[in-house]
Amino acid sequence: MQYFGGKQRIAAQLAAVMSPHCATGYVEPFVGGAAVLSRVVAPVRIAGDANMALITMWEALARGWVPPEYVSEATYAAVKAAADPRDPMTAFVGFGVSFAGKWFGGYARGDEKRNYAANAASSLRRKLRGLAGVRWVHGDYRDCPTPPGAVIYCDPPYAGTTQYGAVDAFSWGSFWEWCLEKHAAGHPVFVSEYQSLPSFRTAVVIDTKTDIRTAANGKESRRECLFVPQDADYGR
């Protein structure tokens, strides 16, 4: 999970590609900001993440927890120091009130035009309307429950990008092998990335921009790709 708006701009397009194949269910083992999950239509939706604090936050929101509209720098420091994965504030502050949405990447001070906590809280409220009934699971992507025939959508840490310290180091080789195994077992598998292995093909290409401004050059352009296995009869 990069930040709460990571896939917001393109979530509807991605969901439109995958929803027609979700007759038995939909599984998202790298749920992150849940932008795509909130748009997908499926009888069963399961969302997982290796970041326990993140799942704690989503479960708390589902139970009615209301995130704050303002977080002071002192509160940010206290939450960071406590690092309590059972506290929904940990993920809310760690992503939503951090510079560039990076996991505790420094307090995002904002200005009179931008209140990071308020923006993050608003984003979460919008998504919650589309998350009723979701089953939240904490753990490794390989352990996420997958009902027979369910679509599996993966938005893993992108190769060549900065990873964050909330989870263990990621093995892309093992990940792509796991995707092919799930495809062979009858699951439609879709992967968001910038690049893939030769055993996958590009199903969708979307030109977009980041939602968070960087110190270097503002909202950066991105070419997001949705990959599927080469022999897949879906994603065309």
Mean pLDDT, residues 83-106 taken together: 94
pLDDT digits (tens, 9 = 90+) for 7-27: 888 999 999 999 999 999 999
| Of 74 and 3, the one with more pLDDT | 74
CA dihedral of residues 116, 208, 157, 200 (deg, nearest 10): 160
Domains for the chain: give ranges and CATH numbers. 11-229 (3.40.50.150)
Confidence of residue 214 (pLDDT cuts 50, 70, 90): very low
Pairing of the two strands 200-209 and 151-154 = unpaired
pLDDT for the residue 210: 58
**pTM for the complete prediction?**
0.90
pLDDT digits (tens, 9 = 90+) for 123-181: 999 999 999 999 999 999 999 999 999 999 999 988 766 555 556 678 999 999 999 99
Q: Where are the beta strands (DSSP E) in the chain?
A: 26-28, 45-49, 135-138, 151-154, 189-193, 200-209, 221-229
Count the Cβ atoms, other than its own, within 10 Å of residue 137: 18
Q: Is the pLDDT of residue 220 over 70?
A: no
